[in-house]
Amino acid sequence: MPRRSATVERDIPLFLIPHILLREVRRHGEELERVIVRKTSSHFYNISIRTRPIKRELKGARLKVLTEQGK
């Protein structure tokens, strides 16, 4: 499988980093592979988020578990 490119959020203020990380963890969950936070200037940072693909067999089971939890 080809590797997915990283999603980069640029010039994020320091106080928004926890919110963005929480959003990405909720969005990607187990697919999350790597998170890099780099300081650019003053109190601004770049956040790079890389995810990995989940095998198709596991993806169906994961969706089933998530829908059962929602009931």
**CATH number of the domain encompassing residue 26:** 3.30.70
Cα–Cα distances (Å) from 36 to 8, 22, 46, 60, 61, in that order, read 9, 14, 8, 29, 29
Q: What is the pLDDT of residue 58?
A: 55
Burial 6-42 (b: 16+ CB within 10 A, else e): eeebeebeeeeeeebbeebeeebeeeeeeeeeeeeee
Return per-residue pLDDT of the chain as tens, 71 residues. Answer: 566 788 899 999 999 999 999 998 888 887 888 999 999 999 999 999 998 876 665 555 555 555 665 55
- Tens of pLDDT, residues 30-44: 788 899 999 999 999
Q: Please report whether residue 2 resides in a domain.
A: no
Query: Domain total for the chain?
Result: 1
Residues 40, 47: Cα–Cα separation, whole Å: 10
Q: What is the pLDDT of residue 71?
A: 53
Q: Please report whether residue 46 resides in a domain.
A: yes
Q: Please report whether residue 34 resides in a domain.
A: yes
